[in-house]
Amino acid sequence: MSHARIEEVSDSDPEIDDPEAFLPDSSQHALQPASAPHSAVAATASTNPTLLRNGPPTSFSAPSHQQSARNNNLPPDLKSHCLLYPVYFDATRTRSTGRRVPPSLAIKNPLAYSLISALQSILKSNPAPSQLQITFEPDKLHPNDWANPGRVRIKLFDTETHKPLHPGIKSKAHLYKLIGEYLVANPTQKDSPLDLRIQGLPIPENFLEESGEVKPPRGWKMGTILPVHSAAVSGGGVSENFLKEAMEEMKAMGGAPGAGGMPGAGGGGMPDMAALQSMMGGMGGLGGMMGGGGGGPSGGGAIEGGGGGKKGKGKKK
């Protein structure tokens, strides 16, 4: 079973943080803005299962094994695109745990697909001379936001001149500001996760009843409104015994809980990466989306459950 991939990134990662980095050209894996001509969108749709067509809500199909293999080897130009994670706009986070905007531009429970909606709104109100390349990767995780999968890539600068491609977006920091303003004006609602439809992944019957009522286990950081394909969402909605299931999964692999019964908590309430990856490999969430193949639609690899994880070190009392 395939699952979301946790990207080992940090606040000092140059791929994510360098505002001066230029972004080379790439036409592959690109999501076209909503204002793109229909013919151009249709021409790209056959090769890109994550193509945004008419805005939220939308859906995409799980890629084939061949597509997954190609997506796991993203070209360097696509890797250099600006990355946008929901945690950048999370009002419950501090700068040190992932937030990139002032509190006045942050909201609770930001979702990756809402970032697409924000970009659509920004580009619609101030169209660019040329189409900006945007890629939605629903399976990618920020290590400080493990329960909230999804990220967006966007090309902001010209390959040759290194100048902004959009006259209304001068820098990454400026883009963060514009997105934050949109999110504050359009905060996440209980039914917002349903804007993203994933083919093959049914929506639990009681998902909306529990959406917004999630109570994170003590010491863990996670939102109260989560995507349907979150690893913290079981087939029956948000798992009421998520922590218990996580610990049982770790024990089954031979690992012992970390201090205080928590699986090796890291920065910002983030559990140990190896333990969390192994844990997620055995839990529900992305099986229907990934189709048992490799990574996600735009280059997400898989975390295979049942092995490969490091054993946690427990304290003897």
CA-closest candidate to residue 48, choices 65, 38, 61, 35: 61
Is residue 102's pLDDT more than 70? yes
Q: What is the pTM of this model?
A: 0.57
**11 contacts: CB under 8 Å, gap ≥ 6:** 17, 96, 98
Residue 276, token pair as written in the block? 């969390």
More confident residue, 311 or 187: 187
Rounded Cα–Cα distance for residues 301 and 94 (Å): 28
Residue 137: phi and psi, rounded to 5, are: -120, 90
Averaged pLDDT, 33-43? 36
Is residue 125's pLDDT more than 50? yes
Q: Give the tens place of pLDDT for each residue, 214-272.
A: 777 777 788 999 999 988 876 534 444 555 555 565 566 554 444 344 444 444 444 44
| Preceding omega of 57 cis (within 30 degrees of 0) | yes
**139 contacts: CB under 8 Å, gap ≥ 6:** 3, 4, 5, 149, 150, 229, 286, 289, 290, 295, 296, 297, 300
More confident residue, 108 or 163: 108
Domains of the chain, each with CATH number or no CATH: 76-194 (3.30.56.30)
Q: Give the tens place of pLDDT for each residue, 186-219.
A: 999 999 999 998 888 888 777 887 776 777 777 7
Is residue 116's pLDDT more than 80? yes
- SS3 at position 83: strand
Is residue 308's pLDDT more than 50? no
